[in-house]
Structure 1
C-alpha cells in the first residue's frame, strides 16, 4: 500500500519509491503537515507537533493558549484565523468578509489516479502504478468543501497535488486566491533554485539562500513565460548534482502562476504554488465547483540530478501522450531563417530536396504560407493558402515533398489575430480587449479571446481544415506575444478577472481536440521560442522549441537549465547559420552540431547554398545523430559541468540498462597554457568495461566515473568533444 492511515495517531503516511510524506488530523480538526523526505518505516515519533505558548499569538481555542495556527505546520492554511503567514487560499463572502475556517471532514483512498476536469495532469496506465487520497476539508458555516487530492507514484519519488472547491452553500463565494499546494518545512536551512530569463535567454539557473520574508517568482503575462518557469526547488545547503536533499515543485499549468517561499519569525519555511492571484478571481455560485491545476512534487536525497531524472521519466512516460511519446523524433529542416517571408513553391521544394540529399527526414514550412502574409503585419486568423506563393496549394506542395521521401510539416499560430485580416474585419470583438481602451499590439497582432466558446470553435475548425487538406505529419504551434488589456466581451463585470484562466481552459480544449483528431501528427509547441515551456503544454504536445536563440554558446545555459525539470525528448535544438542572428557570434560547425545534438535535432538555414564539402559535413552529423538518437531522446541524462559556474559545460546520456553512453564537453573560450582536463562521467555501471567507439580503448566504468576521461590539449575558442561508449562483456 502506498497510502496508510493510522487511525490511532490520525496520521496519513504516503509512501512513494524512496519517499515518505506525512500529515495528520490535528486538534479541533485542523489539518497539519508532519514530514516529507527520505522513506521512514515508523512514523509515530514524527506525529507529535510541539506546543508552546508564544508571545503575541492568537488562539482559536481561548481555553488553550498553546494552540496558535501561526506555529502549526499546515497542509492548506487559511487567512484570518490566527495564522499570519502566507495563506494557500483566500475567499470572499457576500457580506464582504474574507475569513474562512477549513477543518477535516472525511477522506477516501483510491487505486490509480483520476484525471482533472478540463486540465492537463500526469496519469497512470495501470491502477497498480499509483494510489490517490482525497481529503475533504469543510467550512461548515458557509458549506464550502475543499478536496485536497494527493497521488503517490509507487515506483517514483513523486507525489502530485491538486485542489477542488465545491460550493454547497446558499450564497455566492468569490475565490480570490486558489493555490494548488502548500508545504511547511521545519527550518529555513535551504537554498532556493528557480529558472529565470527572457526571450532568447530562457531558463537560466538561479540559486539563492533563503532569507526571512517572502521570496517569490511569478508570471502576470498570460503565459507561463520565458521570464520565470513554473518550477522551484528547495535545496539543502550542501546539495550538488549528486548529493543532498532537494524538494522540487512544478505546476502543470500554462498561464499566470505564482510560487512563494516564506521564512517566518520562527525560521520555518512555507512553500506554496498555484494560479497567480494577481488580477484573478472566480465567482463560485451555489452548486458550482472550481478545479485548480496540479503540482508535481519530487523529493531527492541524492542531489539535483536524481530529482531531474525523476521528472524526466515521469514526464516522458506519464505526462506526454500519443503516438510520438515513445517514438524517435525526426531530424528536420525549417525554412524560416533561410527565407523568412520571401519564398515560393520552387524555393521550398529546392530546400527540401537538398535536405533529403543529406539525410534530413522532415521539412517544415514556417510562417508566411497563408493569407497575404508577406510580413508580420497581416493575416493571422485567415488560415487559407496564399496562392501567389503556392499556386498549387499545400496539397501539391506536400505531395512533392513527400515524393522525395520526406515528411511535410507546417507552422501555425492559431491563438492570434492580425488587425489587418479578414477575420478581424468580420469579428473585431473576438480579441482580448477592454471597452474604450486602446488595443495594444505585440508583433503587430492581438490575441483571440479563447474564453469564448465560439472563438475556440472557429480555431478548431479552421486549423483542422488545414490539417485535413494535405499530407501533414508535423505542426509547429507558435504563440508570439503576451497578454495586455485582459478582458472579454462576453463575461459580466463580476467575472472579468476570470478571463486569463478561462483563456487557458479554452486553449487546453483546443489543443486537446485537435491533437486527438490528428494522432498521426507530431505537434511541437513554440512561444517565441521557450516562452511557454511547461508541463501543461507537454501534456498535449510532446516537444517544445526550446529557444529562438540558436547560438551554440547561449544554448549551453538554456539547454542545461531546461534539463533541471524537462526531458531532452521535449527539447528541440537546431543548427543555424553564422554569424548567429541573435548574438552575431561565429562558432564552428562542430560546436553548433554537438550542442544541437543534445535534443531533437534539426537545421535552420538554406541548404541550397551549401557546397558539397559542407553537405558532406552535414551528412556525417546526421549519421552520427541517428546512431545515438534513441539514447539522447530517451536515455537518462546527467549534468557534469555547469555553464553557470565557469567556462566549461559537460553532460551525458546513459541507456537504462547502462550498456551505452554518449557524453559531450564544451569549452567556450580558450586559455593559454591551460591545464589538462579530465571529465568525470556519471551513471555508468562501475563493474562494466566500456569501449570508446572509434578508438578501441577500453575503460572500466569505475575508472570513467572516478578518474574520468581526458581531453586533448587544444587551443582556440568554441571547442567541443563527444565520446560514445558501449559496454563489453
Structure 2
C-alpha cells in the first residue's frame, strides 16, 4: 500500500524507540506471553507487571473495553463484550459503548477517535472488527468500514515490567476517493463506571510551569490541549485519574497516561450518561485536516497509559522506570547527567573566546564536567533581534573558529556543548533575506513576530534538509558533544502556501515528523551526541521529544524556591533522570528573591545538576562551597537520577515545606532533601518518615548539609527510619538540609 508517511510502528520515533526494545523483551519471554486471544469468547487479554487489560468484540462488531486494572488470575473469567442496554430513545444500544477505537458514525454519542469526511459528502464511519495479528509480542487489530473503504490498524505494545501499554493507530484509505481526517486520536482509555473520579493534570506558563491541579470528573468534558504548534506549557500531555478522596501518594487506584507528541495535541476526558469515563488523546482537532488520497495512510502518535493500586507516588515511579528503560534514546546504557556549566547568565550575548576560556577554567576548577556556550556565538548575533538562522561562527568573537575554545575545554577535562535554535529565524538574517518564503505564513497576510523571530516551516522538505545539513556541518567540523536545542515561541499564521489548500493543514503533522527525523539523523551521524530539549523552559516536554533527547529544561525560572514546586510538578509525569536544574545568581533574576548558595545547590541537586551563575564573581568561600556540593552530588547522583522517588512533603500551592527522598535501584543508598521556604511562629519542621527502605536492614546516615535533632542515632534499622523518622532542625526562611542513608547490613537475626 502506498502511504503518505512511513509506518509509525516501524520508524516513527515516539514508538520506534520503545517498540524495538519492548518487542525483543516480549519475544524472549516465552514463559509468560503477555498477550492472549480467546477465539471462543473473542476477547483479547494483556497481562504485564501488576495489571490486566482486556477487550473484546461485541455483537455489533465493535471493539469494546472489558477490564483495565489490577492483575487478575489467569483463570479468572472476563465478561463477554456486549453494548450497554438502551437507556432511552436518546441513548440507544451502542450509543455509549466503551469502544477501544470509535469512528464517528451510527448512533455513537461518545467522543470518537476518528472523524472523517469524504469527497462525496459522506461523514459516516462505523469501524467493525476484522482481524488481528500478534507479531513479536505486539498486538495489531484491524478494524474496517468496508463500505466506506477505511481501515484502522490498532497497535498494542506492553512493557512487561511496569504494565504500561503503548497504543497507536494507522488510518488507511482503501476507497476510490479522497478522505479528509477531521479528528484523529491515537487511542481511547475507558475506565469502569463510577461517580467519584477526580483528575490530576499539569498546567503552567512561562516561568511558572508544572502546577499540579485536581478537579472532580463530573458529567461533561475536560479538554487538556495545546493549540500552539508544540507541546506547550499551558497544559502538559499527561493525566492521572483516581477514585474520590481515597487516592494519595501511597494509596488508591490510579489510572495514568501520557501522549508522545511534540506538536498541537489534545486529551479529552469525559463522563457519559452511564458514568463511564473515557480518555481520548491524539492530534488536536483545532484547525486540523489531513487528506488521504486513495492508497495513502497516516500513523498517529503513541498514547501510553498504566495503572496502579498504590497511589499517585507509585504511578510516578512506574512512569519514571518506563521512561528510563523504554523511552530515552540511550535506555540500554543510560548515562548519568554530567555536572554542567552554562555561560548565559555570565555573558548573555557578549560571548568571546577569551571570556569563555576564563569561565571554562573556573568551571573545571569547581568540578564541572560539561561546558556549554549559550546564545551569541554565531552570525550577527549581538541581541535577539538578528542573526538567528545563520549558523556560522561569528569571527569577530571567535577569530579562529570554535576549535581553540573546544580544545581548551577538552584539555580541562570537560565535554563541550553549544546552544542552538534551528527551527527559528530572525527577519534580520542572511537566511531570511535569501528565503523569506521558508517561514510559516499565509500569502499576503501579516507575519507576527515572537521574540523578534519567525518559525521556519520544517514541513517543507527543503527547509528540513537545510536545517539538517547546517547542523551536520557544524557537528562535523567541531568536536561537540552536546546541543542545547531551544525553541522560543509559539506558531502563528500556520500556512504552507506551497501546498494546495486541501493539503496545507498537514503542516501540524509533517512539521513534527521532520523535526523528529532531523534529530534522529543527527544522532545516527554523530554517535555519542547528546541533546537537551528546551522551549523557553518546559514548553516542549513530552514522551515524543524525550525519545530523541537525553535531558529537558523544565523552566527558565531558576529561583530555588519556585523550583521546588516546578520540579515537584514535573516529577509526577517525568523522571529526575532528564530534569536539569541550575544554580544561578542571587538575587534571582526572575523575582529578585535572595537565597543562600546552600539552598540553591540543594534545590538543584534533586535533578541533573547545572550551574548558570557568573562564577567569576564568586568569592573563595563560595568556590569552596560549590566544590563541596559538586563532589557530594557526584556521590549521590546515580540515586537521585535513576532511583525511586518518594515525595514526602509537597511544596504545591506555595506550601512552606518540601521534602523528597530517592532510593537507589539496588537499595543500598537513600538520599533525603528537606526545605523550609518560610518559618512560622518558631514551629518545628515536620518529622520526616522515609519510604522504600528495607525494614530489616541497618542504615548509617550522614548529613550533606543541615542539622539533625539531638539524639538522632547514627545507625538504625530501615523500620526505624520509616516509622520513627528523622527530625531535622530547619529554621527561618530559605533553610535546607540533605542527608544520605547507606545500607550497611541486616538487623541481627532479622528482628525488629
Q: TM-score, normalised by structure 1?
A: 0.94
Distance of aligned partners of 1:162 and 1:359 in 2 relative to their CA distance in 1, 3 Å threshold: same
The CA deviation string for residues 354-400 of structure 1, in whole angstroms up to 9 with x for no partner, is 11111111111000000010000111111111111111211111112
Map 1:521-670 → 2, pairs under 5 A: 521-644=529-652, 646-670=655-679
2:284 pairs with 1:276: yes
Q: CA deviation at 1:460?
A: 0.6
Distance across 1 between alignment mates of 2:735 and 2:317: 27
Residue 453 of structure 1 corresponds to which residue in structure 2?
461
2:220 pairs with 1:204: no
Residue 65 of structure 1 corresponds to which residue in structure 2?
none
Distance across 2 between alignment mates of 1:363 and 1:53: 65
Residue 124 of structure 1 corresponds to which residue in structure 2?
none
Map 1:419-430 → 2, pairs under 5 A: 419-430=427-438
Distance of aligned partners of 1:474 and 1:676 in 2 relative to their CA distance in 1, 3 Å threshold: closer
8 Å CA contact retained: 2:55, 2:81: no
Residue 221 of structure 2 corresponds to which residue in structure 1?
214
The CA deviation string for residues 450-492 of structure 1, in whole angstroms up to 9 with x for no partner, is 0011111110111111112222111101111110000113211
SS in 1 for 2:502: helix
SS in 1 for 2:558: coil
SS in 2 for 1:133: strand
Q: CA deviation at 1:143?
A: 1.7
Residue 23 of structure 1 corresponds to which residue in structure 2?
55
Residue 115 of structure 1 corresponds to which residue in structure 2?
none
Residue 160 of structure 1 corresponds to which residue in structure 2?
166
May I ask how many residue pairs the two structures share in their alignment? 701
SS in 2 for 1:499: helix
Residue 728 of structure 2 corresponds to which residue in structure 1?
711
The CA deviation string for residues 257-313 of structure 1, in whole angstroms up to 9 with x for no partner, is 001111112222111111101111111111111000001111111011111111111
2:87 counterpart (54, 73, 79)? 54
2:197 counterpart (173, 190, 215)? 190
SS in 1 for 2:572: coil
Residue 518 of structure 1 corresponds to which residue in structure 2?
526
Map 1:406-555 → 2, pairs under 5 A: 406-555=414-563
SS in 1 for 2:209: strand
2:329 pairs with 1:321: yes
CA RMSD of aligned residues (A): 1.5
Distance across 1 between alignment mates of 2:85 and 2:150: 31
2:396 pairs with 1:366: no
Residue 82 of structure 1 corresponds to which residue in structure 2?
107
Distance across 2 between alignment mates of 1:92 and 1:52: 29
SS in 1 for 2:535: coil
Residue 360 of structure 2 corresponds to which residue in structure 1?
352
Distance of aligned partners of 1:595 and 1:58 in 2 relative to their CA distance in 1, 3 Å threshold: closer
The CA deviation string for residues 496-531 of structure 1, in whole angstroms up to 9 with x for no partner, is 111121111111111111122112222111111111
Residue 127 of structure 2 corresponds to which residue in structure 1?
102
The CA deviation string for residues 108-143 of structure 1, in whole angstroms up to 9 with x for no partner, is 1122xxxxxxxxxxxxxxxxxxx2111100001022
The CA deviation string for residues 67-122 of structure 1, in whole angstroms up to 9 with x for no partner, is x11232211122231121211110101122211111000001122xxxxxxxxxxx
Distance of aligned partners of 1:188 and 1:498 in 2 relative to their CA distance in 1, 3 Å threshold: farther
Give the stretch that moved more between structures: 584-593 or 638-647: 638-647
Residue 18 of structure 2 corresponds to which residue in structure 1?
none
Give the stretch that moved more between structures: 289-298 or 153-162: 153-162
Q: CA deviation at 1:696?
A: 7.1
Distance of aligned partners of 1:43 and 1:134 in 2 relative to their CA distance in 1, 3 Å threshold: farther
SS in 1 for 2:166: strand
Residue 336 of structure 1 corresponds to which residue in structure 2?
344
8 Å CA contact retained: 1:279, 1:497: yes
After TM superposition, the runs of 4+ consecutive aligned structure 1 residues lying more than 6 A away are: none
8 Å CA contact retained: 1:194, 1:206: yes
8 Å CA contact retained: 1:325, 1:542: no
Q: CA deviation at 1:245?
A: 0.8
Distance across 1 between alignment mates of 2:87 and 2:632: 66
Gaps of 5+ in 2: 1-32, 704-711, 746-752
Q: TM-score, normalised by structure 2?
A: 0.91
Give the stretch that moved more between structures: 306-315 or 675-684: 675-684
Residue 117 of structure 1 corresponds to which residue in structure 2?
none
Distance across 2 between alignment mates of 1:306 and 1:293: 25
Residue 293 of structure 1 corresponds to which residue in structure 2?
301
The CA deviation string for residues 580-601 of structure 1, in whole angstroms up to 9 with x for no partner, is 1111111111111111001111
The CA deviation string for residues 213-237 of structure 1, in whole angstroms up to 9 with x for no partner, is 0111100000101111111111122
SS in 1 for 2:541: coil
SS in 2 for 1:8: coil
Q: CA deviation at 1:43?
A: 4.5
8 Å CA contact retained: 2:66, 2:78: no
SS in 2 for 1:71: coil
2:95 counterpart (66, 70, 76)? 70
Gaps of 5+ in 1: 60-67, 112-130
The CA deviation string for residues 566-613 of structure 1, in whole angstroms up to 9 with x for no partner, is 111110001000111111111111111111001111111111121211
Residue 21 of structure 2 corresponds to which residue in structure 1?
none
Q: CA deviation at 1:241?
A: 0.8
8 Å CA contact retained: 2:190, 2:278: yes
SS in 2 for 1:564: helix
Distance across 2 between alignment mates of 1:466 and 1:29: 55
Distance of aligned partners of 1:58 and 1:610 in 2 relative to their CA distance in 1, 3 Å threshold: closer
1:683 counterpart (692, 702, 708)? 692
Distance across 1 between alignment mates of 2:231 and 2:690: 34
Residue 148 of structure 2 corresponds to which residue in structure 1?
142
The CA deviation string for residues 652-697 of structure 1, in whole angstroms up to 9 with x for no partner, is 1111121110010111101123135210111111111110025970
2:716 pairs with 1:699: yes
8 Å CA contact retained: 1:317, 1:325: no
Distance of aligned partners of 1:325 and 1:479 in 2 relative to their CA distance in 1, 3 Å threshold: farther
Residue 225 of structure 1 corresponds to which residue in structure 2?
232
SS in 2 for 1:631: helix
Residue 2 of structure 1 corresponds to which residue in structure 2?
34
Distance across 2 between alignment mates of 1:140 and 1:233: 36
Residue 723 of structure 1 corresponds to which residue in structure 2?
739
Distance across 2 between alignment mates of 1:655 and 1:322: 19
Q: CA deviation at 1:715?
A: 2.7
8 Å CA contact retained: 1:688, 1:701: yes
Distance across 2 between alignment mates of 1:461 and 1:313: 35
Distance across 2 between alignment mates of 1:684 and 1:58: 52
Distance of aligned partners of 1:497 and 1:565 in 2 relative to their CA distance in 1, 3 Å threshold: same
The CA deviation string for residues 321-371 of structure 1, in whole angstroms up to 9 with x for no partner, is 138951222111111011111132111110110111111111110000000
SS in 2 for 1:456: helix
Distance of aligned partners of 1:473 and 1:50 in 2 relative to their CA distance in 1, 3 Å threshold: closer
